[in-house]
Structures are given as structure tokens and as C-alpha cells.
Structure 1
């Protein structure tokens, strides 16, 4: 493990900054025994030195940092120095290997199960050809986005990901504003994705109930209430079952792969009425009421949703060995693996889809469950396969709420949210950001509630989730292109750096796709358009952006200074995986 040390510079201004960041101002020998190891140390440090012998001879007390990154972050304070916060060491345990990080990312991205959860969108808007060819196209342009993010991640391997990259790369005059906006997009995407995941799990649960009891009619409020229960389950686990969650996470990758193989093999082996190749790859289906071209555009929402969240390794840089090389590799490999598993899954499902009209109008309201039943001819077999996806979704619910709460905590720590001091509190007993978890739960349930008022609420939340992620992906790509054409381009030299023209081309293709997708996410999915089937994505995002704007002008404009990233880049990377003593730091206003 490569250790690193930090030493904060004494002074009134520095003391104030450290106190605002969550440090205890003074730790002396007299109060060392009462020092709370779960205090929220919220930054790796201010100024960095690479001198392992600086205090090597002094008596040291090792304390777990605690609440959010435990056990990857350790604070070491010298008990022989009176003001220990001004001479603190910190070291990062980089426990993740490349394979481990790919597994972590695949467990979050899990393209194939995401595609199965929103299969109804693809079935109604274009059918198998749009799903399959759309998936191939989305995978290709997503690789452009992934390579662009990998290039930035290799140069700046910081846990803030796109939120931090924008701050580093944007012009100084607007970097706070753009970083702030990117942070809001990230939070929208994560929390809406959590709500979408709860919707998918609720649909699979109620779909099984209808399958075994055809007399049961699924109501919208049933789906919302079950989604609430799933969200509350995730809340309970995040607040009081962190150890259980950790054990569950360790087996998530294996369970995901086994479930994928079990479902694909079962439906292919049991199905005796497979569709023709022309049906799968050529015959266009349209149940939207729109023209064929419009239906095809709407159908892209399904593969676009399936290929999302692959930025996850960027947020784990500080726990990854040789981060500047391995984190970008994990980002790109996640897209390749997701593209392959998603393609195999879609091929299997589309050949086994049976009567497309019956599947599109299934009383279970989940086309995949109908495909399971048509293939196995068994309620029990269908429910077993559907339950595998429910279990995966429950694990995703826990992970997405944890990620959302962590993002809320971090963003409020930088004064990017209203009531930041309250949201960034950490409950000492369980060492969890309880307020952030509760807020994340409330926001997810609010997204779920959209389904009360509109039959297309499910598609609306999917669009909000995907649009939030895609806009956060687009911001750093946009900043790169602006800097290139304005003559302020900063040449990236990390291990994954591309040649300038290749980089610009890949950035442009990726940005064009992201912006196009974000526009189409606002289209209604059925025609004629009524108040019930209207797509309210733009309205929902508009309200959130209005809150963000009000927060900016009333508080964040004065208090938000961007992410605390100085020095972290070279320390985590070492620089670019080396042991260089050089430390680059973005200037602060």
C-alpha cells in the first residue's frame, strides 16, 4: 500500500477552514482520550508533504476516520504535539484491484437486468429491431463517452468524478457555477435512478402476484406503495444494517452473473416457439400511436437507460490501487461488459418473445414476466426467474440510496444545498449520515409519487434518472470542447490520454449523443397526448433546477467554493501511479 502524508499550514484562516470542513480545531494530549474517532473529517488535507520520516519518531495514535469511507480512511495524530490538527497524517488504503473494481461497477451498471426492467418501453416503441440495433448504437456512442471520461479520470483521479473535473477544467470565471450545476445533475440522476429501481422491483413483485392470481388487477397506487416499501427497506439497511449491506455487496457480482446465465439458458432451452430472425432484426412494431420514426426515437430510451451509471469507478478512485490507470480501465471495461451481456440478453429475450401484442399488453404489466411464462409454461418457474431480478434490484436499491446519501452529504459539505449544516451531520452511534439518508429517501419517494398522477409516470422517472446522469456526463465533455475551441485547452497527459484530434472527435461524438438523448427523454411516449400520458420530465427537472437556482443566489453563490480537491490528484495517483513529489493544485478564488 502506498501511504501518503498531509500537513496543514498553521494560521487563523487555515484554522477557520479546517473547522468549516469538519475538523476539531485542537486536539491535545489532555483531551486525546476523549477524541471522537467518528468525527467527519471531510477532506484529505490542505497542503501535502511526502516525508514519511517527518514525525516518524513520535508517538502516534491511529484512529478510524469513520462515517462515510470507513475503513478506507485513517487519521493519525501525533500525541506529542499540542495542536494535532495542524500536524495530521492521513493515509488511504487502496484495497480494490482492477477485477474488484470492474465487479463493483458491473454490479451497479447491471445492464441486462436494467434492460429487462424497462422492456415495456422497447416492446411498445419499435419492438425487437429498435431494442437490438438501438443497443448496439447506444453501446458504441457510450464508449465515446466512456473513453472521454477515462481520459479525464486518468489525469484527475478524484472521487468527485465529473463534478470535480468540471471545476478543474472549466474557465476560472465560471468553474464554480458549472461545478455546482454538475453536482445537482449528479444528485438528480442518482436519486431518480434509485426511484426507478424501486419502480422496477415493485413491478416485478406485483407482476408475479397477477401471474399466480389472474383475478388480481394491478392499480397504480399499488405500485407506488410497494415502491415506497422497497425504498424504506433500503433506508433501514443503510441506517442500521451497514454490516449486512457490506456482506451482501461482496456476493452481488457472483449472484448477478449466475442469475444472468440462469435466465438466458432457461428461456432459450425451454421456449419451443422462437421467433424468426427477420422478426428479431427487421420487423418494426409500434404501439405508441406516433409515426414509425417518432416511435423509434422513443424506443431509444430503453437502451439509453440500460447503459448508464458507468462513471462509478471514478467515484472510487481513492480506494483503488494505481487509480490513474485502473479506474479509467474499469470505466471502459464496464461499458464493454455491459454491452456484451446486454446484447446476449436482448437476443435471447427477443427470440423468445412470442406474441408481441400479447406481451405488450400483458396483464402482469411486465413483458419480461410474460416472456418467462410463455417460455417455461410454469408459474413457479416464471416466479423464480422474476425473483432473481427482484433480489438484484433490492441490492441496487441499497447501493443507490447509499450513493445518493453520500452525494448529498458531500455536496452539502461544500454548501451546495439548502440547510447544508443539517444535511452534512453524521450520526455518531452508527457512523452514518442519517439526515442525508432520510432526505434521499424522501426525494426518491417523491419521484415515485409521480405515478399517482400519470400513467406514464414510470417513463418520466426513467427519463429523469437517465437525463440527470447524462447531463452530468455532458458537462465535463462540454468544458473540454469549449476550452479546445477557445484556445485555453489543457493537454491531458495521463495514462489514458488520447491524441488531441482523437480526443476532440470522441468528445464531440459523445457530447452530441448525450445532448440528443436528453432532448428525446422529454418526449411523450403515447399519442394522442393527454394530461395522463404526458411526459412531465421537463417540468420535474425544471422545478429541481429552479430550487438549485434559488439556492445558488440566496446562499451557495457566497458559500460554495467548489470541491476540496487540491493535492488529492497527485497523492491518489502518485502522480499517475508514480511516487512523484510534485503536487499540482487548482487555484482557488
Structure 2
């Protein structure tokens, strides 16, 4: 008798059987060939999943919120040429992220499961290394997703707090009051996720709101703000970071546009709720990234041409709010930006809670966590992984308490999330390159073809560069009274790996993926 994986002994769908993937029933049947049972309703399609990604990326708001940092790390040249190649043909950051998403989209078309990268590594790696690599990729993703959701909710709470301080300067605002607002803001994503059938509608409305918010912001600035000249926008290089090497500051300036394309894997964890997932999910991933990249170009140009006296706003409590209020000529401009950004952040929180809960649910089925048997349950009435949603909210509350005690500690968690995202993006592609693309199964709907190796190598190189950027402090020095400049992301990543390693050594290695094994009487070749 030999032990083999369920997914190894079930016949995979070949290129000639592309029709198997053409409807939701066949999607469910194909999921069974991967050793997974469909337990969620398929409510998304190509357009609503694209809308979801546009909403969750919120690209233009991510660029604007870093108004102060932009003019320290390279200024216009760092932002524009960190966003555009010569002749403005491509966005450097968007190229890297788009190629990375194209690499992952290829795997998504082969294995459309909510586990995303956590599942891809299982299939791409050997039987010896697949479980442990999959386990650590999953843990990195979970931390990154939860931290991102917490950071968006806290950003909204901070926006509300800032508006109170600006319009009522006599109020003695305390940090615990911001925390209480943060707790209230966690309730809205939770409530919206209780009706999964309506999530595509929320995504569509959220995408429209995000786009309309951008047009309101851009049109107001273009109509009212004094304009900088083209020489300033395209040639001015600023370095207020404390680094002496301008070349490094130029690279570090990628952080600004990169922040607007952060966490772009979320839609991969919703594919089990998408119709025609193998065909449409990869296209949605790539096209939404292209659209986000174009949004980055337009936002960068509007911001720089209408930046005003940027040095005046650098020390403000919320530079982008003060800046827009002045450019609009009214304090209502600040209110507009605050409302738009606050709502967008809540929409992002809602989307992240959806994707993170689906990822965690599939990982719990693989026994990646303590109490996995409880965490893997689907609420049959609501059709959602309700138990895991409770856990996510609980962890976000703890993160909020950390921010109450130390902004530095909370910022370290968020920076660590960026590193974890990059590692989780890079590992599946790296494993595929090491083993060779010839080991990939047929790809009837999305195949990188002869460009596969080039795209994959660039993807891995880009992901490694983003890891370095996320680990480095944005400002020097980092000692003494300037300890706040220190980037503690490495400590957070280390703590995550330490905790997950301890659980792996003492329990997970005996449980993780073991229930996929069945006894068969014949040798079954692995699906590679």
C-alpha cells in the first residue's frame, strides 16, 4: 500500500477539456479534482471581481496620503521616474507588480482555490518541501492581510480624529478616543460581510465611489490650484531623507507608488466564489493591475502639478488634508478629502476581511492553526467562514490596542506586512523557476508561453527588491531621539516566523496537509 494525495489520484482537467471550466457547476467539479469541496456560493464574475480589486487597491488615495513622504524621498523625479520610465511609456512599479501578478495569475488559472499562493506552493514544490513552504507562505499572507485591514481602519479613525482637532482646536483629544472610533469602524466591515451575496454589489459601488472621489479631487485641484512648471515636475530631485546616496533615495522612492499597489493578491482568495474562475480570474488580476497602474500615473501628475508650497505642509498633522483645503480655498475641501478617504478605507477593510477569511478558512482545513477544526467551519445559514472572521476581528482589536500604547509598534506591524506580502508573492514563482516551467500542468486559459521564464525572473527580482525597500528605514538617523525613524519590519517578520516555526515543530508538522492522504493500492504519479 502507498500513500498518495487525493489531488494526485484524481484526473486533472487537460487543455482539451477546457469546457469543464465554463460554468459554476464545472468550476465546483474542477475544484474536486484539486482535493477541495466547493462550500461557498459563486457570486462574483469578471467585472465584479475587477471592481473589487479597483476598490481594494484604492490607488489614488494611497498616493495622496503619502504627500509628505513624496517630497522627502526624491520629490517629483522620485515619484515620476519611480513611476514612469523615460518617455513615460510604463510605470516602473506597475511593471514590476503587473509582471508579478501575471506570474501568479498563471497559477490561479491552474489552481483556482481560496488558498492562493499557499496552495500554489503545495503543488509547485516537491512532496518533501511543499508542506513547510506552503505553511510559511500562508502564515505570511495571514499576517499581511490582517495588518493591512487594521491599518486601513486605524487610518479612518485617525482621519476622524484629525478633523475633530482641526475644526475644534480647543478639544483635548486623547488616543483612547481614536481607539474607540477604531473599534466602531471594525463593526462596519463585519456587518457587510454577513451577506456574501451582496458583496459583489458592495464592490461595484465601492469601485464607483473610489473613481468618482478621484475625479472630484483631481478636477478641484486642476481648476483651483496654482500650477507648478514642467521643469519642476519632471526634473526636480529632493532628498530630505538623511541618506547621502541619491541613487539609493531614488530606489527608496519606489515606496510611494508601491504603496498604491499594495496587497494586490486579495482577489485570488475569492476565486471559489467566482464563476468561470479558471478563465476569468487571471484576466481580472492582470487588467485590474494595469488600471491601477494608469491611475498611479494620473494621480502622480495631478499631485505634482498642483502640489503648492509642499514644505509648508510637511509638518502638518495631516499634510494632504491641509494641502487640499488650501488649494480648494475652503475648509470644506479638507472635509471632502477626509470623508472620501474614510469611506474608501472602510471599503478596503470590508474587502480584506472577505479575502482574509477565505484564505484562513482554507488554511484551517489544512490544519495550519491551533483549533483548526473550529476555524474551518462554514456557517451554513450565512455561507461564510464566520468563526475565522471573529478571529480576524479579534486580532485587529489587539493590533489597535498596540497602537494605543505605541504608534511605533503598530507601524512596525504594518511595515512587516509589506515584507510578508512580498515574500508570499515571490516564493511560488521562485519554486516554479527552480523546478522548471516544464513541470507546470496545461494552462488552457492563461499561459505566459515563451515569455514565461522572462516574466518569472523579473517577478522574483522585483519581489526581492520590494522586500529590501520595505525593510529599510525611510529616514536617517535611527538612533537616540530619532529612534522613531527605525524600521522594525524585520522584527515583526522574525516574530511571525518564530511563532509559526514553534507551532510547526511541536504540532503543525504532524497535522498540516496530512488529512489529504488516503491509502490506495496502486502507484499514482504526482501532479506537478
TM-score interval for Structure 1 and Structure 2 normalised by the shorter chain: 0.7 to 0.9
Where do 1:347-386 residues align within 5 Å? Answer: 347-362=301-316, 365-386=317-338
Name the CA distance, whole Å, in 2 between partners of 1:534 and 1:104.
34
Alignment of 1:193-204 (within 5 A): 193-204=148-159
Q: For residues 485-528 of structure 1, what are the alpha-carbon distances to aligned partners after superposition, in whole Å with 9 as ceiling and x for unaligned?
A: xx97446543322234x211211111111112112212223322
Is this contact kept in 2: 1:129–1:283, CA < 8 A? yes
Instruction: Indicate conservation of the 8 Å contact 1:152/1:492, yes or no.
Output: no
Q: How does 1:350-429 map to 2 (within 5 A)?
A: 350-362=304-316, 365-426=317-378
Deviation, 1:452, is 4.4
Question: Where does residue 261 of structure 1 map in the other structure?
Answer: 215
Q: Work out which structure has the larger RCO, using CA pairs closer than 8 Å and 6 or more positions apart in sequence.
A: 2
Matched, 1:510 2:463: no
8 Å Cα contact 1:73/1:93 also seen in 2: no
138, 148, 165: which one pairs with 2:93?
A: 138
- Higher-helix-fraction structure: 2
Kept after mapping to 2: 8 A contact 1:203/1:223? yes
What secondary structure is seen at the aligned counterpart in 2 of 1:524?
coil
Aligned partner of 1:124 in structure 2 is: 72
Q: Are 1:100 and 2:75 an aligned pair?
A: no
Report the counterpart of residue 115 of structure 2 in structure 1.
Answer: 160
Contact 1:158–1:565 (8 Å) recurs in 2: no
Q: C-alpha distance in 1, partners of 2:256/2:270? A: 27
Q: Deviations over 1:274-314 (max 9, x none)?
A: 22222222222333333353544443222222112333343
CA 1:117/1:216 → structure 2, altered by over 3 Å: closer, same or farther? farther
Give SS of 2:71's match. helix
Evaluate the alpha carbon distance shift between residue 537 and residue 218 of structure 1 in structure 2; reply closer, same or farther with a 3 A threshold: farther
- Aligned 8 A contact 1:98 1:326 in 2: yes
**Alpha-carbon offset, residue 237 of structure 1:** 4.4
Displacement of 1:247 after TM fit? Answer: 5.2
Q: Residues 477 and 429 from structure 1, CA distance in 2 versus in 1: closer, same or farther, beyond 3 angstroms?
A: closer
Aligned to 2:419: 467
With structure 1 as the length reference, what TM-score do the two structures score? 0.74
**How many pairs align?**
492
Residue in structure 1 matched with residue 501 of structure 2 by the alignment: 549
User: How big is the shift at 1:163?
Assistant: 1.4
**1:171-212 residue CA offsets vs partner (Å, 9 max, x unmatched):** 221111111111111111111110121232223222322332
1:499 and 2:452 correspond: no
- Higher Cα radius of gyration: 1
Per-residue displacement from partner, 1:145-174 (whole Å, max 9, x unpaired)? 122112222333333221111111112211
Could you tell me how far apart the structure 1 residues matched to 2:447 and 2:171 are?
57
Answer whether contact 1:162 1:473 (CA < 8 A) is retained: yes
Question: Residue 285 of structure 1 aligns with which residue?
Answer: 238
**8 Å Cα contact 1:163-1:182 kept in structure 2:** yes
3-state SS in 2 of match to 1:496: coil
Correspondence 1:187 to 2:142: yes
Deviation at 1:455, TM superposition (A): 5.0
With over 3 angstroms needed to count, the CA separation of the structure-2 counterparts of 1:91 and 1:379, relative to structure 1, is closer
The aligned counterpart of 1:314 is 268
Distance across 2 between alignment mates of 1:442 and 1:586: 43
Change in 2 beyond 3 A, CA 1:562/1:165: farther
Residue 343 of structure 1 is matched in structure 2 by: 297
Matches within 5 A, 1:74-85: none
What are the superposed Cα offsets for residues 58-91 of structure 1, whole Å, 9 maximum, x if unpaired?
xxxxxxxxxxxxxx899x9xxxxxxxxxxxx979
Q: Which moved more, 1:139-148 or 1:203-212?
A: 203-212
Q: Single out whichever of 168-177 and 515-524 deviates more from structure 2.
A: 515-524
State the distance in 2 between where 1:586 and 1:316 align. Answer: 30
Contact 1:167 1:562 in 2 (8 A): no
TM-score when normalising by structure 2: 0.82
> Structure 1's 220 and 483: CA in aligned 2 closer, same or farther, altered over 3 A?
farther
RMSD: 3.6
Structure 1 position 464, deviation (Å): 2.2
1:120-157 per-residue CA deviation (whole Å, 9 max, x = no partner) reads 43333233322232232111111221221122223333
Extract unaligned runs of 5+ from structure 1: 1-12, 18-42, 51-71, 77-88, 567-584
Unaligned runs of 5+ in 2: 14-23, 29-36, 84-90, 519-523
* Structure 1 residue 431 displacement after superposition: 5.2
In 2, Cα distance between equivalents of 1:116 and 1:262: 14
